[in-house]
Structure 1
Amino acid sequence: MRKYLGGRTPEEWLGAILMTIVVALLGFQVVARFGMGRSYSWLEEVSRFAFVWSVYFGFVIAAEADRHIRVSLHLELLPPKARLVMLTLADLIWLVFNAVVIWHGYWFTMSMFEFPYISQTTGINLVWVQMIVPIGFTFMSVRILQVMIKRWRTGQGPADARMGE
């Protein structure tokens, strides 16, 4: 699939597109406000929604690249097999946390269909914004599992360029 996406993952493309939308909308808002003396309240709200979604896709990108924040000094002191076991244990704990967030996020978004919370300026149901929580954590969990499998196949630890300094 990457060959059809220019060597990038779908999450990278979606994150880049959403950040482009954020910059374009906020740039237009600045020009409209200071150049034309007009203000569009919906622009700021839509850009905020796009920014939230792009941040979640950023989480997925970091998980796919095995680049999430972690304390790695103690990992350097371990033998390679113990390092793999520790990283796997940490990732399993992370997956449990993700499962809890997915579960509660799912039921929260389902309740927003039943009891809608409508945005003041755009008039949309905010369930479409909140839906990124279970979706993002599901995508992140898939990427974590892929990294775990790759790590055990190759026998290599995290892809952290700062390790070994």
Structure 2
Amino acid sequence: MKKAIKWLDDYLEVSLGVVLMSLMTLIIFIQVIARYVLRSSLSWSEELARYLFIWIIYLGISYGCKLMKHIKIDACMSLFPKRTRPYVELAGILIFLAFAVYVAVTGFDLTMKQIPLNRKSPAMGLPMQYVYAAPAAGMALSAIRLVQAVIGQVKKIRTGVS
């Protein structure tokens, strides 16, 4: 069980991202071949590629949170004394965490509102709640990664490591 949790912690976003990106690339490739070689277009391929891309983006946000590689304004950090910089970093993570939780909760509510409407995508007839679930799922994963970052930052502050 611990191995499975460790594997999910290490590779969840990457493995899902690779699968979704490969699937999206394959679908687009098939569409190009169908359109220009077979002179027949697939009606559903562009729609599915778009929806896969949305999921890839939100998984990428979570992966960026895991690596702490999101855009930061480093010039602002130099304005603070070295002793207070870890606290400013912690404050930034906490603000991002609050935003991620807000988007996840709002996205979940929006997803739940799609179910009784029974809306379907135009070309594939895919229930739209699967598309609307991407922000909720991605930002919920991001929130988990940001909680991990908060714990790591608090440990750094306690041990005095910068």
Decide which of 46, 49, 56 is 1:47's aligned counterpart: 49
Q: Which has the higher helix share?
A: 2
> What's the CA shift for 1:154?
3.4
SS in 2 for 1:94: helix
> What's the CA shift for 1:8?
4.8
* Distance in 2 between residues matched to 1:128 and 1:83, nearest whole Å: 41
Which digits, 9 at most, give the CA deviation of each residue in 1:58-82, with x for residues without a partner? 1111000000011012224534441
* Distance in 2 between residues matched to 1:144 and 1:62, nearest whole Å: 10
> What's the CA shift for 1:91?
1.3
- Asked if structure 1 preserves the Cα contact closer than 8 Å seen for 2:93 and 2:146, the reply is yes
Superposition TM-score, scaled by structure 1 size: 0.86
Task: Tell me what 1:129 maps to.
Answer: 131
Structural RMSD (CA): 2.2
* Distance in 1 between residues matched to 2:57 and 2:16, nearest whole Å: 11
Task: Tell me what 1:107 maps to.
Answer: 109
Superposition TM-score, scaled by structure 2 size: 0.87
Task: Tell me what 1:161 maps to.
Answer: none
- Asked if structure 1 preserves the Cα contact closer than 8 Å seen for 2:28 and 2:46, the reply is yes
Decide which of 8, 17, 20 is 1:18's aligned counterpart: 20
> What's the CA shift for 1:2?
8.0
Percent identity reads 25
Q: Which residue identity does 2:42 align to in structure 1? A: Y
* Distance in 2 between residues matched to 1:133 and 1:3, nearest whole Å: 23
Unaligned runs of 5+ in 1: 158-165
Task: Tell me what 1:34 maps to.
Answer: 36
**Number of residues of Structure 1 aligned to a counterpart in Structure 2:** 157
* Distance in 2 between residues matched to 1:146 and 1:99, nearest whole Å: 14
